[in-house]
Structure 1
Amino acid sequence: MNKRKFYTINQWWRLFATALGFIIFGLYGLFVLSLIWFSLLRLFVWNKQKRTLIAQYSISVNFKVFLWIIKSLGIFNYQFNGIEKLKQDEGCLIVANHPSLLDVVLLASVMGRCDCLVKGALLNNIFISRIIKTAGYILNGESSRILTQCNEILSNKGRILIFPEGTRSIPNHPITLQRGAANIALRCHADIRIIHIECNPPWLIKQQKWYDIPEKKARFNITVGEKIIIGDFLDENTTIAARRLTRHLTTLLTLEPKKE
């Protein structure tokens, strides 16, 4: 028989604050940002590259404000370690593990210029699709265009954020990476910056409802780790190189990061 779960006063507050935070994010981020601000960008900024950069910086600022609001409400805490390393990462892939729904929000908030590889299914949402298109994000469903888009972004000193697991990981289960990140890095000759995200206790994980509030306040530790020099993995046989690089990425994203 399942035991009934009783919330403490603090959990009830975090439940209310979480709902409030997501409502604010939905009303402002999707309606104001998507319908008003991005419509103005499309109307007045005709240069596509300039419009894309403004859109990405706008998203970063909005994510930063959103995180400040929900942190101030006492929902969770977060800390970045080694964030200064990201300043060295022009023309680089940013590869991270994916334990929580907030991972992309946390990382994009500290990277003003950041392209993302996103699921094509998100285009089915009218508000999110406008954000994706205006920000110039890469769709993983358009396989014939991915390498061309990535190469163009990286050659122009851009950064591409990728979660190579393809979906949120399950706590206490070994992670499994797809080879997409490795193939992009090898074919575009791009270095890879590793980021390790830890969330304790687990929160907003895969198959967990947003209202399933942990007993303790969740804390995110985001550690910017080492940079992989892609030249060390280049090989005439790209398939073999991709396998070797994917194994290496799996090892780095599984190990506990070194605190500097």
Structure 2
Amino acid sequence: MQYFNINRLWRLIMTAFCFALFGIGGLLLSLIWFPLLNIALRQRDKRRYIARRSISYCFKFFMNTMRRLGVLDYRIVGGDTLASDKKCLVVANHPSLIDYVMLASIMPDTDCIVKSELQRNIFVKGVIRAANYLINDQSSVLLPTCKKRFKNRETLIIFPEGTRTVYGHPLVLQRGAANIAVRCRVNIRLVHIQCDERMLDKQSSWYHIPARKPTFTITVGQLININDFIVDTVSDEPSIIARQLNRYILEQLSHDGHLSQGHK
């Protein structure tokens, strides 16, 4: 029992340390590294490419640090597949605060749709600007920008729940991801994230430390061919196709990580 209490206290202290490390890392990137890139490189696309790779490297370092300190453990099933994906929409459930960090740590050059309020966060706003992430409230330019980036064979991560999963409740998906896939005619890579303990979920603060060290499992699932849905749909109306696609995504992500390998 004494060991158990000491271990939990250790994880609490190290969790606080890791949060501080994340914030300081974001500031250092924003105040030092990204301004240096702006000075050294004139080409905007090349700056963005290096910035995203820098972010991915830092996220990988951060995840490995949490693992080594005993804060959590994680495993990725199919990480090589996800890292090699091009020109597709990566759709994942969103159980915790670090879901994007885990995904981006194995995707060296990926885009993401982020909440507009994060642009006011002193620790991450510089990262968002340097990586040129898409902002969710820029509806007038969001779809055209997505089309342009998919044309350049980029990947885009989106969490269709819109916020973190409410623990104990079924998944509820917005149709944004399905609409982007249908209107941009891009395939979808499904990813399921789960954790065997509650940590950093929507109803938990950072200091709510579980009794046991949590293990996150990221399962890279099937690649949904968007043409299968467009061909199989009687109507060509994009909203109808998106509704059916959204229903299918919900079914797959609700299967506790056992993502099937085919549409039929």
Cα distance in 1, alignment partners of residues 44 and 55 from structure 2? 16
Equivalent of 1:137 in 133, 137, 141: 133
The equivalences for 1:207-226 within 5 A come to 207-226=203-222
**Larger displacement relative to structure 2 (36-45 or 83-92):** 83-92
Contact (CA 8 Å) 1:97, 1:195: kept in 2 or not? Answer: yes
Equivalent of 2:12 in 9, 12, 15: 15
Contact (CA 8 Å) 2:90, 2:157: kept in 1 or not? Answer: yes
Contact (CA 8 Å) 2:83, 2:107: kept in 1 or not? Answer: no
Q: Is 1:113–2:109 an aligned residue pair?
A: yes
For normalisation by structure 1, the TM-score amounts to: 0.94
Equivalent of 1:36 in 28, 32, 49: 32
Q: Structure 1 residue 120: deviation in Å?
A: 0.8
Contact (CA 8 Å) 1:56, 1:114: kept in 2 or not? Answer: yes
Contact (CA 8 Å) 1:89, 1:159: kept in 2 or not? Answer: yes
Q: Residues 59 and 240 of structure 1: is their aligned pair in 2 closer, same or farther, counting only changes over 3 Å?
A: same
Cα distance in 2, alignment partners of residues 148 and 43 from structure 1? 29
Name the SS for the 1:161 alignment partner.
strand
Cα distance in 2, alignment partners of residues 169 and 66 from structure 1? 23
**Residue 227 of structure 1 aligns with which residue?**
223
User: 2:69 is aligned with what amino acid?
Assistant: L
Contact (CA 8 Å) 1:35, 1:127: kept in 2 or not? Answer: no
Contact (CA 8 Å) 2:83, 2:108: kept in 1 or not? Answer: no
**Larger displacement relative to structure 2 (81-90 or 202-211):** 81-90
Name the SS for the 1:233 alignment partner.
helix
Cα distance in 1, alignment partners of residues 36 and 103 from structure 2? 26
Q: Structure 1 residue 176: deviation in Å?
A: 0.5
Give 5+ residue unaligned stretches, structure 1.
1-6
For normalisation by structure 2, the TM-score amounts to: 0.93
Give 5+ residue unaligned stretches, structure 2.
none
Cα distance in 2, alignment partners of residues 149 and 126 from structure 1? 25
Equivalent of 1:103 in 99, 102, 110: 99
Q: Structure 1 residue 147: deviation in Å?
A: 0.7
RMSD, matched Cα: 1.4
Q: Structure 1 residue 131: deviation in Å?
A: 1.2
**Residue 248 of structure 1 aligns with which residue?**
248
The equivalences for 1:1-260 within 5 A come to 8-27=5-24, 29-234=25-230, 235-258=235-258
**Residue 4 of structure 1 aligns with which residue?**
none
User: 1:22 is aligned with what amino acid?
Assistant: F
Q: Structure 1 residue 112: deviation in Å?
A: 0.1
Contact (CA 8 Å) 2:26, 2:126: kept in 1 or not? Answer: no
Contact (CA 8 Å) 2:96, 2:200: kept in 1 or not? Answer: yes
Structure 1 ranges of 4+ moved more than 3 A = none
Name the SS for the 2:124 alignment partner.
helix
User: 2:20 is aligned with what amino acid?
Assistant: I
Cα distance in 2, alignment partners of residues 87 and 106 from structure 1? 12
User: 2:10 is aligned with what amino acid?
Assistant: W
Same amino acid, percent of matched pairs: 45
Name the SS for the 2:217 alignment partner.
strand
Q: Structure 1 residue 240: deviation in Å?
A: 0.6
User: 1:19 is aligned with what amino acid?
Assistant: A
User: 1:111 is aligned with what amino acid?
Assistant: M
User: 1:17 is aligned with what amino acid?
Assistant: M
Name the SS for the 2:218 alignment partner.
strand
Q: Structure 1 residue 87: deviation in Å?
A: 4.5
Q: Structure 1 residue 208: deviation in Å?
A: 0.8
Aligned length: 253
Residue by residue over 1:50-92, the C-alpha shift from the partner in whole angstroms, topping out at 9 and shown as x without a partner, is 1111110000000000111111000100000012222552100
Q: Structure 1 residue 44: deviation in Å?
A: 1.7
